[in-house]
């Protein structure tokens, strides 16, 4: 037995909510005593509608709202470990892995005497990972020196923030971790994590720009008759730089002519990604008074030149406003 392993005992909640210790075999080819026989019972075809319904974990769950339950489903073991890590950071506890294997993880609270425990393993019948045993209650207090908030964990959280707040400062990052994750971090650690997160975001968005031509080719292939144009700025001895893009699908143009009022609303807004820019759009209203997108463009700034470029392409797609009677409205 390694130094990080504990005796092969599983704690479960009894009738009086007191932990019950059950001996289990550590060999992976031997069965465990689970909370419910439903995990081991094969489901027959005539029982499909009566099989137990289990909760599937949502990746968008807020950090402080992670709440495991017996039978909960995870797509991957990585997804489960990330959720477990998030919960322990928010609660200020220390986690210990008793078993940390590819298809099975058993973990508990590191504080001596605390009954908290969870066991998650692979369900070979349904082909997903599932929580098999869970003792929810903690008897220990909050630990201000929790070892779960590593720099890589902080970086992963700041990456999500930088997508919508590209100019995030270390001070704002500290406040973000405190307000959203109930966590106090040293200034030096947050500075290094923010630098790593910014580099990751820049690299990810650069990769997306490199796929623009592939995206437009797919639009032309799957939506014949669509207009999808990208303008670039030539660069000496390097790949061209993205300038602007215009997209109007064939279904947009056909739907506008067939069932919308001949009134086109022009509007623009800022893009909050790392590289910024503006989104310009041309929309109409259908017979149900719902917005109907005709065309949109991404440009560097909302200026006369950018609008002239979009309206020129829009006229080529829809025809002359004098011929078809299109009317325009704008907040400019």
CA dihedral angle for residue 162, residue 168, residue 169, residue 172, rounded to 10 degrees: -100
What span, in angstroms and rounded, lies between the C-alpha atoms of 113 and 135?
13
Task: For residue 201, give both structure tokens.
Answer: 């975001």
Q: Give the model's pLDDT for residue 29.
A: 43
Question: pTM here?
Answer: 0.48
Contact at 8 Å (CB) between 156 and 173?
Answer: no
Q: Give the model's pLDDT for residue 42.
A: 52
Please report, for the chain, the start and end positions of each structural domain, with discontinuous segments joined by +: 9-135, 151-209, 224-330
Contact at 8 Å (CB) between 104 and 28?
Answer: yes
Q: Give the model's pLDDT for residue 27.
A: 41
Beta bridge partners of residue 284, listed in sequence order: 292
Q: Give the model's pLDDT for residue 59.
A: 73
CB count within 10 Å of CB 283 equals 18
CB count within 10 Å of CB 87 equals 20
The number of angstroms, rounded, from the C-alpha of 325 to the middle of its chain's C-alpha atoms is: 44
Residue 287 belongs to what H/E stretch?
Answer: none
Burial 231-266 (b: 16+ CB within 10 A, else e): eeeeeeeeeeebebbbbbbeebbebbeeebeeebbb
Beta bridge partners of residue 74, listed in sequence order: 129
Strands 327-330 and 263-270: parallel
- Provide the residue-wise pLDDT of the chain in tens; the chain has 332 residues: 444 444 444 455 544 555 444 434 444 444 444 444 445 555 545 444 444 578 888 876 766 567 888 989 999 998 898 888 888 888 778 888 898 998 999 999 888 889 999 999 999 888 999 999 999 888 888 766 565 678 888 888 888 888 778 788 889 988 888 888 777 888 888 888 888 888 887 777 777 788 888 889 999 999 999 999 999 888 888 888 889 999 999 999 999 998 898 999 999 998 877 678 899 999 999 888 899 999 999 999 889 999 999 999 999 999 888 888 889 998 75
CA angle 193, 274, 294 (to 5 degrees): 150
Supply the DSSP symbol for 43.
P
Q: Give the model's pLDDT for residue 64.
A: 59
Task: For residue 186, give both structure tokens.
Answer: 């040293």
Task: For residue 178, give both structure tokens.
Answer: 């405190």
């Amino acid at each position: 037995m390694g130094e990080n392993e504990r005796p092969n005992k599983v704690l479960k909640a009894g009738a009086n909510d007191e932990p019950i210790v059950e001996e289990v075999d550590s060999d992976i080819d031997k069965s465990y005593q689970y909370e419910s026989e439903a995990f081991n019972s094969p489901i027959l075809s005539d029982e499909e509608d009566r099989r137990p319904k289990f909760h599937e974990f949502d990746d968008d769950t807020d950090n402080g709202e992670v709440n495991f339950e017996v039978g909960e489903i995870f797509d991957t073991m990585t997804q489960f470990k990330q959720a477990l890590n998030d919960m322990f950071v928010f609660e200020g506890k220390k986690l210990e892995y008793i078993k940390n294997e590819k298809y099975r993880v058993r973990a508990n609270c590191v504080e001596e005497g605390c009954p908290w425990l969870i066991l998650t393993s692979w369900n070979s019948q349904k082909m997903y990972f599932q929580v098999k045993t869970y003792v929810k209650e903690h008897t220990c207090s909050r630990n201000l020196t929790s070892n779960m908030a590593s720099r890589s964990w902080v970086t992963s959280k700041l990456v999500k923030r930088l997508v919508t707040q590209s100019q995030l400062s270390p001070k704002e990052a500290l406040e973000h971790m405190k307000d959203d994750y109930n966590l106090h971090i040293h200034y030096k650690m947050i500075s290094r994590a923010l630098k790593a997160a910014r580099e990751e975001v820049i690299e990810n968005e650069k990769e997306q720009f490199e796929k623009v031509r592939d995206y437009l080719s797919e639009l032309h292939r799957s939506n014949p008759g669509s207009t999808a144009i990208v303008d670039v700025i030539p660069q000496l001895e390097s790949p061209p730089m993205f300038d602007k893009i215009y997209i109007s699908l064939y279904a947009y143009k056909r739907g506008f002519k067939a069932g919308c009022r001949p009134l086109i609303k022009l509007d623009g807004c800022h893009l909050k990604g790392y590289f910024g820019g503006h989104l310009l759009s041309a929309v109409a209203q259908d017979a149900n008074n719902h917005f109907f997108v005709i065309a949109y463009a991404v440009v560097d700034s909302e200026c006369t030149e950018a609008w002239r470029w979009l309206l020129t392409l829009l006229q080529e797609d829809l025809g002359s406003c004098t011929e078809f009677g299109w009317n325009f409205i704008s907040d400019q």
